[in-house]
Amino acid sequence: MGRTASAAKRVIEGFTQRRLPDDPAWLTSTIAHWAYGSVAGAAYGIVAGSLPRPSPAYGVPFGAAVFAGDCATLPIAGLYKPIRQYDNKVVAWDFGAHVAYGTGTAITFWLLTRLRTGAVSHRP
């Protein structure tokens, strides 16, 4: 079972006080990722929407901040091991995935903002 599936399983077991089988690990992990990503994306929208000009470039620091937040809080919650206990390759892939998520979120927000304000021209 992957790190996220294991963490999500422990959270759900803690809230429900019931043991979950390992079989739905993929589903549990997917639901946890989508829920967390949606909340983080909404927070990004609030912050970026309050800035004078949203930019896709804000995605890199946003993704890095989400990664750093995970590294700081999840070990304290007992859901992950401290980052220094993971292989450098695993950490690099995880960091890259968070930066890709942040960049995708920033580009999507930027495009939606441009569409809403009419800044994108419609060409036939």
Closest CA to 109 of 64, 57, 66: 57
pLDDT tens-digit series, residues 49-64: 999 888 999 999 999 9
Sequence letter at residue 36: Y
Q: What pLDDT is attached to residue 15?
A: 76
DSSP 86: S
Cβ atoms 79, 7 nearer than 8 A: yes
Q: What pLDDT is attached to residue 86?
A: 93
For the chain, 124 residues long, give each residue's pLDDT as a single digit of tens: 556 666 677 777 777 788 876 666 667 667 777 888 999 999 999 999 999 888 999 999 999 999 999 899 888 877 788 999 999 999 999 999 999 999 999 999 999 998 877 665 555 5
Q: Residue 73 CB: number of other CB atoms within 10 A?
A: 11
Q: Is 89 helix (H, G, I), strand (E, B) or coil?
A: helix
Structure token digits, residue 108:
């999507």
